[in-house]
């Protein structure tokens, strides 16, 4: 057996082997084979990466906007030219299909493109003659060293959501990617270096809770962006805010698709299938529950079943594959356990993906499942499953469906399928969810809006990327200025007011 390679950190422009002696396996989910180890940082390794980021900050924050933009443009060109190489790495470690991986890269590119406009995004305001001889203006400045902690399901795009704007605004960025698919972060680091980014502006430290906890308490980290499951997002938010840091912590989801009786059933079924089973359901914006209003339940179930039977499950890199494996053997078992519990709690598996899991060989495959009769209170409804499982909840009215969605503790994404513009408009106003689709099942905002859920899907005030990303990674300063002018100067001990 050839010895497995170990994936290293990227600190100060170079690969650095972890000295901690702790490692984690990196699998190929399609074959079930381990393909590498990743070194897990201890506190001293995190400290050395933070020091490198801190040292790089002084120079980087004073680098002219046009130079920062030039580097980002070059990086954009390099990512574009290496789309396939990035996508192949995603498929190898995450398991997603090539088409899906290319889609991830494309959505990441959008964020780099937005960041290329930083000179416009950072423009402040200027008020001439706010008082006699006095002008007032606002500038936005970078925070310093900022950290990003990212999940396994979008190992290229989610880091790009964060670091493109963070770096453009003049911060230095320390990435702690998921230990389950860590390699793509190093390819991105290399491309940033080739684009001309100075060493230390972008560092990568691999690790687990030990590294994360050190980042959350490190005095030189000014802000933390986190994306992952809700319990960890909540914990990260609490710890980091207690330590005085600015935090945006995006958590898990349970996304409902409300289908009204007047919906185009074929369109709704296509959308439900694509949004539930794309990327094997491992998307925070996946649709996991179809809320069928009135008579729409039977036709939509039949339309969904017909489509599931045609989905080609296989290795993500094989041409024609539509759905790949899930990330790990533990995760596959967790999904299977959810399906068993659903049956025990009275739901019916209209399509049972457990059989495909049993016959699929050593890769981490689970077939598509459709749970009919799902209800709040059942574990399969109350918890995020994050796998290829779609539930059907039957309700008698729009109001009953809406109340259920609004009672759900998660509030990431949702969609309504209808031909009625008035109903759609009412839904967009009444639903308590951060991202809403109208006949669009995965309403991930384009890069010039911002991404974020409500309730347990986001801890913090600002959403990620887009205008709120620029706000998150900068501090505002307001300057009130007056230049010597004999006519406007006098001694006045009263509180300053406009004259
Ligand atoms: P996860 O919460 O297990 O891990 C996320 C990050 O936290 C990883 O970098 C991981 O190393 C780190 N981590 C793991 N355990 C930790 C601990 N105990 N303390 C501190 N850090 C820890 O999430 P995941 O399984 O990698 O990703 C899937 C989850 O992410 C799903 O819940 C999904 O909904 C969510 N997600 C949310 C969004 C969003 O935008 N809201 C986007 C993508 C994924």
For 44-78, what is each residue's pLDDT tens digit?
A: 999 999 999 999 999 999 999 999 999 999 999 99
pLDDT score of 31 more than 80 = yes
CA of 153 from ligand 1 middle (Å) equals 9
Question: In this structure, are 245 and 261 located in the same domain?
Answer: no
The reply to whether 377 falls in a domain is: yes
Question: In this structure, are 243 and 314 located in the same domain?
Answer: no
User: pTM for the complete prediction?
Assistant: 0.97
The reply to whether 447 falls in a domain is: no
The reply to whether 462 falls in a domain is: yes
- The boundaries of the domain holding residue 25 are 5-251+457-478
The reply to whether 14 falls in a domain is: yes
pLDDT of residue 1: 59
CA of 150 from ligand 1 middle (Å) equals 6
Question: In this structure, are 461 and 405 located in the same domain?
Answer: no
Give the domain CATH number at 326. 3.40.309.10
- For 381, half-sphere exposure in the C-beta direction (CA atoms, 13 angstrom radius) is 24
**What atom of ligand 1 comes closest to residue 327's alpha carbon?**
25
CA of 207 from ligand 1 middle (Å) equals 13
**What atom of ligand 1 comes closest to residue 177's alpha carbon?**
9
The reply to whether 162 falls in a domain is: yes
Question: In this structure, are 235 and 294 located in the same domain?
Answer: no
The reply to whether 117 falls in a domain is: yes
* Domains identified in the chain, total number: 2
pLDDT score of 2 more than 80 = no
Provide CB contacts within 8 A for 60, sequence distance 6+.
Answer: 68, 167, 170, 171, 172, 198, 201
Q: Measuring from each residue's beta carbon to the nearest atom of ligand 1, which residues come in under 6 Å?
A: 149-154, 158, 176, 178-179, 208-209, 212, 227-229, 232, 250-253, 284, 384, 386, 412, 453, 457
Q: What share of the chain is helix, strand, coil (3-state, %, to 5)?
A: 40, 25, 35
Question: In this structure, are 319 and 378 located in the same domain?
Answer: yes
pLDDT score of 125 more than 70 = yes
pLDDT of residue 496: 84
82-98 per-position pLDDT tens digit: 999 999 999 999 999 99
pLDDT of residue 499: 73
Give the domain CATH number at 225. 3.40.605.10
pLDDT score of 358 more than 80 = no
The residues that bridge with 223 in the sheet, in sequence order, are 146, 246
Q: What is the mean pLDDT of residues 363-388?
A: 97
Give yes or no for a contact between 57 and 124, defined as CB atoms under 8 angstroms apart.
no
Secondary structure E strands in 336-487: 348-351, 369-372, 389-395, 410-411, 413-417, 435-438, 454-455, 458-459, 474-482
Question: In this structure, are 313 and 419 located in the same domain?
Answer: yes
Report the alpha-carbon distance of residue 370 to residue 290 in Å, rounded. 10
Catalytic residue numbers read 284
Residue for token pair 């001439």 = 128
pLDDT of residue 199: 98
The reply to whether 445 falls in a domain is: no
Question: In this structure, are 228 and 355 located in the same domain?
Answer: no
Secondary structure of residue 325 in the 3-state scheme? coil
Report the alpha-carbon distance of residue 466 to residue 147 in Å, rounded. 18
Question: In this structure, are 102 and 230 located in the same domain?
Answer: yes
Pick the last residue of a domain from 407, 438, 469: 438
Question: In this structure, are 241 and 265 located in the same domain?
Answer: no
Mutation test residue for ligand 1: of 96, 149, 151, 443, the one with most atoms within 8 Å of CB? 151
Percentage of the chain exceeding pLDDT 70: 98
Question: In this structure, are 266 and 394 located in the same domain?
Answer: yes
Question: In this structure, are 149 and 262 located in the same domain?
Answer: no
The reply to whether 97 falls in a domain is: yes
Give yes or no for a contact between 373 and 346, defined as CB atoms under 8 angstroms apart.
yes
Residue 283 has a CB neighbour count (10 Å cut-off) of 23
Question: In this structure, are 229 and 371 located in the same domain?
Answer: no
Q: pLDDT grade, residue 359 (50/70/90)? A: low
């Amino acid at each position: 057996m050839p010895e497995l390679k170990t994936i290293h950190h990227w600190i100060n422009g170079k690969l650095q082997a972890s000295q901690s002696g702790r490692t984690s396996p990196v699998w190929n989910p399609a074959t079930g084979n381990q393909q590498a180890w990743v070194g897990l940082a201890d506190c001293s390794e995190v400290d050395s990466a933070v020091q490198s980021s801190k040292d790089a900050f002084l120079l980087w924050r004073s680098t002219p906007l046009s130079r920062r933009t030039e580097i980002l443009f070059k990086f954009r060109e390099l990512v574009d030219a290496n789309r396939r190489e990035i996508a192949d790495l995603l498929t190898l470690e995450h398991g997603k299909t090539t088409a899906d991986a290319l889609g991830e890269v494309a959505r990441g590119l959008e964020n780099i493109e937005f960041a290329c406009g930083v000179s416009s995004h950072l423009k402040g305001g200027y008020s001439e003659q706010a008082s006699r001889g006095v002008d007032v203006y606002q500038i936005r400045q970078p925070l310093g060293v900022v950290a990003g902690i990212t999940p396994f399901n979008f190992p290229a795009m989610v880091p790009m959501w964060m670091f493109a704007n963070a770096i453009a605004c003049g911060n230095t960025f320390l990435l702690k990617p998921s230990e389950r698919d860590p390699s793509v972060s190093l390819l991105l680091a290399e491309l940033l270096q080739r684009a001309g980014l100075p060493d230390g502006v972008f560092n990568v430290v691999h690790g687990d809770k030990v590294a994360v906890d050190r980042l959350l308490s490190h005095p030189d980290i000014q802000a933390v962006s986190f994306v992952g499951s809700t319990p960890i997002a909540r914990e990260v938010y609490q710890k980091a805010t207690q330590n005085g840091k600015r935090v945006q912590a995006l958590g898990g989801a349970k996304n409902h698709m409300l289908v009204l009786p007047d919906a185009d059933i074929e369109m709704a079924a296509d959308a439900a299938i694509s949004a539930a089973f794309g990327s094997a359901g491992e998307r925070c914006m996946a649709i996991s529950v179809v809320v069928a209003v009135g008579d729409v339940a039977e036709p939509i179930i039949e339309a969904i079943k017909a489509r599931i039977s045609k989905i080609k499950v296989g290795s993500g890199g094989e041409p024609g594959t539509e759905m790949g494996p899930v990330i790990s053997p533990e995760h596959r078992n967790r999904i299977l356990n959810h399906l068993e519990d659903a049956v025990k709690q009275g739901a019916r598996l209209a399509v049972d993906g457990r059989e495909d899991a049993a016959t699929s060989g050593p890769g981490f495959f689970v077939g598509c499942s459709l749970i009919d009769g799902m209800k709040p209170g059942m574990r399969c409804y109350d918890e995020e499953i994050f796998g290829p499982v779609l539930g059907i909840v039957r309700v008698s009215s729009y109001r009953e469906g809406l109340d259920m969605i609004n009672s759900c503790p998660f509030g990431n994404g949702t969609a309504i399928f209808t031909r009625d513009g008035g109903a759609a408009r009412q839904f967009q106003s009444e639903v308590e969810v951060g991202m809403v689709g109208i006949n669009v099942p995965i309403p991930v905002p384009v890069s010039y809006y911002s991404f974020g859920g409500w309730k347990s899907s986001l801890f913090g005030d600002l959403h990620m990327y887009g205008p709120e990303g620029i706000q998150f990674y900068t501090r505002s300063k307001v300057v009130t200025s007056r230049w010597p002018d004999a006519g406007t100067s006098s001694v006045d001990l009263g509180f300053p007011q406009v004259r």
